[in-house]
């Protein structure tokens, strides 16, 4: 403090000049640092998003390039040179097996009453009409009665003659297919597998005439009076 002299001549103490205010200290510790850190994080986040968007755009561009190149490759492949050759329209059709006769659904024999030693003949023409080569066989079917063992049967095959009349049947060129009793024929040949072979047809339109001659045993037993027999004759073709 200084001194000064007043009007009365007395010395008086002068007040000391005021000191300037002391500077306020800046806040310390975490009060100021978070602002800087938050700012930096925000900047890094913005930068990361920008980089991510650029990466996405780059990925889309690469994908579009790959798809475009594949399209160009396929277009190039489709435009390649080519050539073909054709084998036409292939097709298949099965063949046929067909067999007919000229009997008009009438039995060859209906003989009654018979005496011992009685005999008769009848012819029948069998015609193959199929497109496949086939073997024709004869067999007996459905024998009934007790007279079969006393009925002998001769079956010959040749040309000439018909169901209506055996006139013209070529006996000199005939082949004997069977000679025996009706009962024996039915027992030995009752299906195609065991049938008597007639001929092998190579195509449609081939015919044969068969002549059947039957004879009642001249020495038939007296007990056979009133006896009977019936049987069917079957021709079958298989390729």
Task: Name which residue leads in pLDDT, 60 or 70.
Answer: 60
Quick check: 41 pLDDT over 70? Answer: no
Please give the structure tokens belonging to residue 31: 């009060």
Share of the chain above pLDDT 90, in %: 66
Residues 134 and 187 grouped into a single domain = yes
- Residue 154 in any domain: the answer is yes
Residues 56 and 106 grouped into a single domain = no
Q: Which of 17, 49, 70 is the last residue of a domain?
A: 70
Residues 58 and 163 grouped into a single domain = no
Q: Which of 70, 90, 115 is the last residue of a domain?
A: 70
The number of folded domains in the chain is: 2
Q: Which of 50, 70, 90 is the last residue of a domain?
A: 70
- Residue 145 in any domain: the answer is yes
In contact, 150 and 217? CB cutoff 8 Å = yes
Residues 40 and 129 grouped into a single domain = no
**Overall average pLDDT of the 102-119 stretch:** 97
3-class SS string, the chain? CCEEECCCCCEEECCCCCCCCCCCCCCCHHHCHHHHHHHHHHHHHHHHHHHHHHHHHHHHHHHHHHHHHHHHHHHHHHCCCCCCCCCCCCCCCCCCCCEEECCCCCCCCCCCCCCCCCEEEEEEEEEECCCCCEEEEEEEEEEEECCHHHEEEEEEEECCCCCCCCCCCCHHHCEEEEEEEHHHHHHHCCCCCCCEEEEEECCCCEEEEEEEEEEECCCCCHHHCCCCEEEEEEEEEEC
Provide the domain limits for residue 177: 99-218+231-238
Quick check: 84 pLDDT over 60? Answer: yes
- Residue 167 in any domain: the answer is yes
Tell me how far apart the terminal alpha carbons of the chain are, to the nearest angstrom: 153
In contact, 148 and 215? CB cutoff 8 Å = no
- Residue 135 in any domain: the answer is yes
Residues 130 and 48 grouped into a single domain = no
Residues 63 and 105 grouped into a single domain = no
Residues 48 and 140 grouped into a single domain = no
Q: Per-residue confidence at 55, pLDDT binned at 50, 70, 90? A: low
Residues 65 and 134 grouped into a single domain = no
Q: What is the CATH number of the domain that holds 189?
A: 2.60.120
In contact, 192 and 238? CB cutoff 8 Å = yes
Give pLDDT tens digits for 158-174: 999 999 999 999 999 99
Residues 156 and 203 grouped into a single domain = yes
Please give the structure tokens belonging to residue 132: 């496949």
- Residue 45 in any domain: the answer is yes
Task: Name which residue leads in pLDDT, 22 or 148.
Answer: 148
């Amino acid at each position: 403090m200084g001194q000064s002299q007043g009007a009365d001549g007395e010395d008086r103490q002068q007040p000391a000049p005021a000191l300037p205010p002391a500077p306020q200290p800046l806040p310390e510790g975490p009060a100021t640092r978070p602002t800087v850190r938050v700012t930096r994080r925000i900047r890094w986040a913005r930068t990361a998003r920008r980089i991510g968007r650029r990466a996405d755009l780059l990925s889309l561009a690469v994908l579009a390039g790959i798809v475009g190149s594949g399209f160009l490759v396929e277009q190039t492949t489709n435009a390649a040179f080519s050539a073909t050759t054709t084998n036409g329209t292939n097709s298949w059709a099965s063949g046929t097996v067909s067999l007919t006769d000229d009997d008009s659904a009438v039995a060859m024999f209906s003989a009654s009453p018979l005496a011992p030693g009685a005999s008769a003949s009848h012819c029948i023409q069998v015609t193959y009409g199929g497109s496949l080569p086939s073997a024709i066989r004869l067999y007996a079917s459905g024998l009934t009665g007790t007279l079969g063992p006393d009925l002998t049967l001769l079956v010959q095959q040749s040309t000439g003659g018909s169901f209506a009349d055996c006139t013209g049947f070529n006996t000199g060129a005939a082949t004997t297919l069977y000679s025996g009793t009706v009962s024996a024929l039915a027992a030995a040949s009752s299906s195609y597998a065991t049938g008597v072979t007639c001929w092998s047809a190579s195509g449609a339109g081939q015919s044969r005439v068969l002549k059947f001659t039957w004879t009642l045993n001249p020495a038939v037993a007296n007990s056979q009076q009133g006896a009977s027999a019936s049987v069917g004759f079957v021709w079958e073709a298989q390729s």
